[in-house]
Amino acid sequence: MTAVAEIMDYDEVLARFDPVLGLEVHVELSTKTKMFCGCANAFGAEPNTQVCPVCLGLPGALPAVNGKAVEAAIRIGLALNCQVAEWCRFARKNYFYPDMPKNFQTSQYDEPIVFDGHLDVVLDDGETFRVDIERAHMEEDTGKSLHMGGATGRIHGADYSLLDYNRAGVPLIEIVTKPITGAGERAPEVARAYVTALRDLLRALNVSDVRMDQGSLRCDANVSLMPKGADEFGTRTETKNVNSLRSVERAVRFEMQRHAAVLTSGGSIRQETRHFDESTGSTSAGRPKETQEDYRYFPEPDLVPIAPSREWVEELSKTLPELPWERRRRAKEEWGLSDEELRDLVNAGALELIAETVEAGAAPGDARSWWVAYLSQQANARGVELADLDITPKQVARVAALVGEGKLTNKLARQVVDGVLDGEGEPDEVVAARGLEVVSDDSELQKAVDEALAAQPDIAEKIRGGKVQAAGAVVGSVMKATKGQADAKRVRELVLKACGQ
């Protein structure tokens, strides 16, 4: 097991250094096909079943640009307050790795499709911090290497490696910030808040499912430190593919503490990639980080430049949905939330989910109750972010509707939600498969009530004598007999009626 690096106390780090961040977020687009070919773009297929000569880089195969991916890139840029290039083109980024079938990645270098934007993010106490965006450019994802037999899942110590090229060629947008300075002690929080806000924005645009647990949203966190009073950035490290919001914050904080310990002991920071370990909250060395010159970029000869017309860009700007921060203002007014309540919902990652559940037909109170209470508990138990649970706002709204229609009790509804989370299908399918619908047939309920009363004659006599509170014991027996599927209110009515009350 790799030893955890020495780190400095966080307060001491801040007394000696100013942090500088740079965040690169890779977003897999949810187009039906890949970036440069017609292969399906779907997660979870059998390895190497969604490939063709183009995405495998076979000789003579020629790419063609996915128009929907270009459209998504422009819409992302507009939502990030970016300028849209009047003319841009693709480039070849040359490097060699087994999961790169072409031995180059088709990307954009000095001519990105959108550039020079910003995103205002809200911190935990309500303060707004502006993150400037350098660029967002189009590229393709690589394949996936699976290192087998080792203890860590990485290549070091593995017995052998397997390659799955299904992901090769999947459309990616890489969103790159300008250097983030001035965050001070809040730098880790700013990093988390930025990725959170970006994820919410991309979900609202409906360009990606932004599932960090499945790799459709990945963050590379660059960190460097400047001694107090210095005016030149320090050497940076890049922690690759951080795959949860909490981990983004932890990785930045750890690297700040590690850099400071190295620098104050007389050492120097090596420009390299790092890997984040969820179990320890620490990072470990990867490989030396290439410079732009190492990639030997040159224009892609097989693809024509892209020149979005101003008319098309204007049309796309009209398709932008209500953005998350606008929705928050509206939700606060319509739901009567205080600033503190709104902030708590935002910090819990629940507000957008609640809003989408309301839009799907649920009452605001029901939507809020489900996401803040039961589903938050499930997210904690499963070790994932709330938004990464395998249930959609539409499905939650359907569960709430089934409760409202009297087809489910709250207890049964939680079982239905569990079924959806476990991949058993849509809410109605889980109800049917598990036999969870409320028993509302009076003849069946009456039979269960009669049996419960006959089994408890003393309690039945008390009810007949006017002690109606004793009916609770009979109702409990009926609920047990029906496995919780009876309408408790209706059962109580039948019990009292049977006892002449």
Highest mean pLDDT among 78-87, 146-155, 274-283, 342-351: 78-87
Instruction: Please give the distance of CA 245 from its chain centroid, rounded to a whole number.
Output: 8
Q: Is 320 left (phi over 0), alpha (psi -120 to 50) or beta?
A: beta
Higher confidence at residue 485 or residue 59?
A: 59
Decide: 2 and 73 in contact? Cβ < 8 Å.
Answer: no
55-64, 84-93, 185-194, 412-421: the lowest-pLDDT one: 412-421
For the ranges 146-150, 273-277, 312-316, 422-426, the lowest mean pLDDT is seen at 146-150
Tokens representing residue 87 in the block: 């003319």
Q: Where are the domains of the chain?
A: 10-311, 322-434, 442-499
Token pair belonging to 360: 């799907």
Helix (H, G, I), strand (E, B) or coil at 389: coil
User: Residues with Cβ < 8 Å from 489, sequence gap 6 or more?
Assistant: none
Lowest-confidence pick of 112-126, 186-200, 303-317, 334-348:
334-348
CATH class of 442-499: mainly alpha
Give mean pLDDT, residues 135-152: 89
The residue written with tokens 């796309």 in the block is: 316
